Amino acid sequence: MPAAKYGLAKHEWKKHGTCFGTDAETYFLTAIKFTQQFNETMMLQFFRMHMGQSVSLQRMRWMFGQIFGKGNIRKFQMVCQKGYITEIRIRLKGDPVNGDFYDLINKADELKGVKQCRMGIIAQP
């Protein structure tokens, strides 16, 4: 994890982990578990197929709906900086430590009034 030497773990713990309700190890293990589960979906292949290309929020919602259910297309946020997609934030609800990733998405409320970019480039590594 190249970003570790630049303090990414410390930043993530301060910004997200401290309100997670567990210790740091549980927080990071849960984050890894969800990252692995997300990467096992077709979303990872979608990102790989579109590297270097501009992708619309509408297209991302369509793809998200195909994978996680049409009722969930407004449960994620696409964040961009300088024209590039930098984050996909997925809304979850329930017990993240013991819960199932898909169930946590299904239980979550839609994001409303959240700033999103409408178009962004998927960066190449």
Q: How far is CA 7 from CA 4, 12, 13, 52, in A?
A: 5, 9, 10, 27
The residues of the chain scoring below 50 in pLDDT are none
- State residue 70's pLDDT score: 95
Q: How far apart are CA 64 and CA 50, in angstroms?
A: 15
Residue 70: what residue type? K
| Amino acid type, 110 | E
pLDDT of residue 3: 62
The per-residue pLDDT for 69 is 95
Retrieve residue 80's tokens.
């961009």
Report the pLDDT value the prediction gives residue 118, as an integer from 0 to 100: 95
- Expressed in angstroms, the distance from the first to the final Cα of the chain is 13
Q: Which pLDDT does position 10 carry in this prediction?
A: 83
- The per-residue pLDDT for 16 is 79
* Nearest in space to 84 (alpha carbons), one of 47, 55, 58, 123: 123
CA distance 122 to 124: 7
Contact by Cβ (8 Å): 50, 122: yes
pLDDT for position 63: 96
Predicted local distance difference test score (pLDDT) of residue 114: 83
